[in-house]
Amino acid sequence: MTSMMLKEALSAAECVAHQLANDTERYAELGRKLRSTSFSTALTVARGSSDHASAYAAYLIMARLGRVVASLPMSLVTLHKSPLITRDTLAIAISQSGQSPDVVEPIRYFRDGGATTVALVNDIDSPLAQAAEWAIPLRAGKEQSVAATKSFITSLVAGARLVAQWQNDPELLAGLEALPESLTAATQEDWSAAIEVLAPAKNIMVVGRGISFPLALEAALKFKETSALQAEAFSGAEIKHGPMALVEEGYPLLIFATRGPTQAGLLQLATEMRGRGARVLLAAPADVAERDLTLPVAATPDLDPIVAVQAFYVMAAKLSAARGMDPDRPRHLSKVTKTN
């Protein structure tokens, strides 16, 4: 029987097409607002998969617009009641449910203090949507599976749309329009080699760098959540420090070598780790001969993580079943998590 996780992952292209067909003027209006406003501070506010989507959006903002973006430790607002300066601040929240108090309260705090607040949220009637000045729906539809898939992909797309309109970049906007077709193609990639390696595995390192690091973070979370596989995400720049001590004969590593300036170093890392006896699963585009898994590509490299995670999700849902688990009912987890 096909899991709800797999069904929802396979529906991502349709959800993205729906998102792209809506709210165009709202994003354009937000882009004009961001271009005309001076920010001294930019923050993201999110948990779990949404935090990984926020890291992707933050990377695009920093790389393309030159604004430094930090992930807010929400307890500074919710528990410590720290007197954070809100003036000239941009706060961006991403959430599927928009229900968690530790996401809602900081957005309300920053908005009350005069900051520009944006919520990219699937439930547009949620407390988070009401708290933000700019609330834009992800349009992923209701998500039944505990493990977020289509809402994560639509979150990535929403973050990229925000950046494309802020930067007013025709190439990125055109690349976004081509995403539904690229996502559909991504579902056809054969990642069965990963299932063979990981079905009996006890642990794994997931590696990315730069724009692919949020992808590594999300993959590691899904391995834990849906396959009870102890997974840790590392930047390719960090793995040669402490994490190297964990690598032994047959130790699995999944490396996301997406296109761009970080790719060469990740390919070199894969070669080095193979030399140390690791069981490397190198996910790279079709032009990389030494790849183990083919990474689909988008119209522009900055959108590659969106189609890459689509291929990963299909494999992750099948891996969970291969390990005798139900990805729709992870142990001890529920769909909406509310923390303070």
**φ, ψ dihedrals at 49, nearest 5°:** -55, -35
The single residue listed with the structure tokens 């964990």 is 246
DSSP string spanning 288-323?
-TT-SEEPP--SSGGGHHHHHHHHHHHHHHHHHHHT
Contact of 285 with 266, CB cutoff 8 Å: no
Exposed, middle or buried: residue 136 (CB in 10 Å: 0-12, 13-18, 19+)?
Answer: buried
Tokens standing for 245?
Answer: 């001590």
Tokens standing for 5?
Answer: 């996780």
Q: What is the pTM of this model?
A: 0.95
Q: How far apart are CA 96 and CA 52, in angstroms?
A: 13
Neighbours of 1 (CB within 10 A): 6
pLDDT by residue (tens digit) across 244-257?
656 778 899 999 99
What letter does residue 85 receive in the DSSP assignment? Answer: -
pLDDT by residue (tens digit) across 27-81?
999 999 999 999 999 999 999 999 999 999 999 999 999 999 999 999 999 999 9
CA angle, 334 then 337 then 340, to 5°: 155
Neighbours of 247 (CB within 10 A): 18
Q: How far apart are CA 306 and CA 300, in angstroms?
A: 11
3-state secondary structure of 233: strand
Could you tell me the CA-to-CA distances from 83 to 45, 46, 80, 106, 109 in Å, in that order? 17, 20, 9, 12, 10
The single residue listed with the structure tokens 């999700």 is 313
Domain limits, CATH 3.40.50.10490, in the chain: 4-185, 192-323
The sign one gets for the Cα dihedral 155, 156, 159, 161 is: negative
Rg of the chain over Cα atoms, rounded to whole angstroms, equals 19
pLDDT in tens, the chain (340 residues): 688 999 999 999 999 999 999 999 999 999 999 999 999 999 999 999 999 999 999 999 999 999 999 999 999 999 999 999 999 999 999 999 999 999 999 999 999 999 999 999 999 999 999 999 999 999 999 888 878 899 999 999 999 999 999 999 999 999 999 999 999 999 999 999 999 999 999 999 999 999 999 999 999 999 999 999 999 999 999 887 766 656 778 899 999 999 999 999 999 999 999 999 999 999 999 999 999 999 999 999 999 999 999 999 999 999 999 999 988 776 654 545 566 6
- Looking at the domain that runs over 4-185, which CATH code has it been given? 3.40.50.10490
Q: At what angle do helices 24-35 and 150-167 cross, to 10 degrees?
A: 50
Side-chain-facing half-sphere of 56: CA atoms under 13 Å: 32
C-alpha of 172 from chain center: 18
- Reported residue count of the chain is 340
Tell me the CATH number of domain 192-323, given options 3.10.580.10, 3.40.50.300, 3.40.50.10490, 1.20.1280.260.
3.40.50.10490
Q: How far apart are CA 227 and CA 230, in angstroms?
A: 9
